[in-house]
Structure 1
Amino acid sequence: MAKETKTNAMRMLERQKVPYQAFTYECDDFIDGIHCADMIQAPHEQSFKTLVMEGKSGGYYVFVVPIEAEVDRKSAARAVGEKAVDMIHVKDITKITGYVRGGCSPIGMKKPYPVVFDQSAGEFQEIYISGGRIGLTLKAPLEGLLKVTGGKLAPITMQGE
């Protein structure tokens, strides 16, 4: 079997000595996080998607939310000290993050952006996130992900879903 090519996310976790498990699955095009989780049999509530938003100030922010949840833009803006945040355009994902849609990891982007994990991640010792390319999911300890990203926990999803 060919040696797996490591993504920036994997290299950064290794550099910081954060253990992780990599799960690969066959996928040529973008599929949503629910299908990705189903393909590797990961629990939905433990599986998170990465969203990149732009604040009114022009700064970029990374929000990591459960795959079945929607980000609450007001709460997300509050969490990063912005008046408002909006999703970046799909065509700008690679330019801003260095990753492609469906393979965007909160770790190892082109530049270090502020990262906020939804507070629900705090219910788990380990969570599943994108590994940095389509067809790759990583399972890693939340504490390690917070350390590597410099991230924090905050309530950033719509409540009462």
Structure 2
Amino acid sequence: MTPAVQAAKRGKVAFTLHSYEHDPKAQSYGLEAAEALDLPVEQVFKTLMALVDDVPVVAMVPVAHQLDLKCLARAHGGKKAQMCPADKAQRLTGYVLGGISPLGQKKRLPLYLDGSAESHEIIYMSAGRRGLEIAMAPQDLLKLTGGKPAEIVRDKSSKE
């Protein structure tokens, strides 16, 4: 049982676990999860670590989208955001890349969940290891993490 699953149990929220065979050659852990579990990519969220003015924050966006760092900085009340280096993200969370869960991290960090999550009854995210997803209501995720909804996905109409 991962720290993420333990956190969900302690929080007494409804959740389900979904496992799949992780392919070590997978290019995108989140897209791999959506495909393996036959889920819509809009409903599967990746957990990203960023630094807003050097403060670590957690950002969650649908796996088929990109995080908008400017929007994340604004949501957190900062000036500049950048992706957190992989080794630092792993140290801060206690999880390996591709298995970083918003739940059960070593230390509770500010969390921003893309507003699109609110259009789903259930969203899927890493449960703390590659090949294991946890599903729950977005409101329950926000309750467990102290997170906030925010518009943090890169605008599809702008050039990437």
Interval containing the TM-score (normalised by the shorter chain): over 0.9
Q: In structure 2, how many angstroms separate the alpha carbons of the residues matched to 1:83 and 1:108?
A: 28
Which of 85, 98, 108 is the equivalent residue of 2:94? Answer: 98
Gap regions ≥5 residues in structure 1? 1-5
2:36 aligns with 39
Within 5 Å, which residues of 2 pair with 1:19-34?
Answer: 19-27=14-22, 29=24, 31=26, 32=28, 33-34=30-31
Q: TM-score, normalised by structure 2?
A: 0.92
2:139 aligns with 143
Residue 35 of structure 1 deviates from its aligned partner by 1.4
Secondary structure of residue in 1 paired with 2:128: coil
Counterpart AA for 2:15: Y
Secondary structure of residue in 1 paired with 2:4: helix
Gap regions ≥5 residues in structure 2? none
Q: In structure 2, how many angstroms separate the alpha carbons of the residues matched to 1:94 and 1:28?
A: 20
Q: TM-score, normalised by structure 1?
A: 0.92
1:59 aligns with 55
> Are positions 1:152 and 2:144 aligned together?
no
1:7 aligns with 2
Tell me the matched-pair count.
155
2:81 aligns with 85
RMSD of the TM alignment (CA)? Answer: 1.2
Q: Check 1:73–1:136 CA distance in 2 against 1; reply closer, same or farther (3 A cut).
A: same
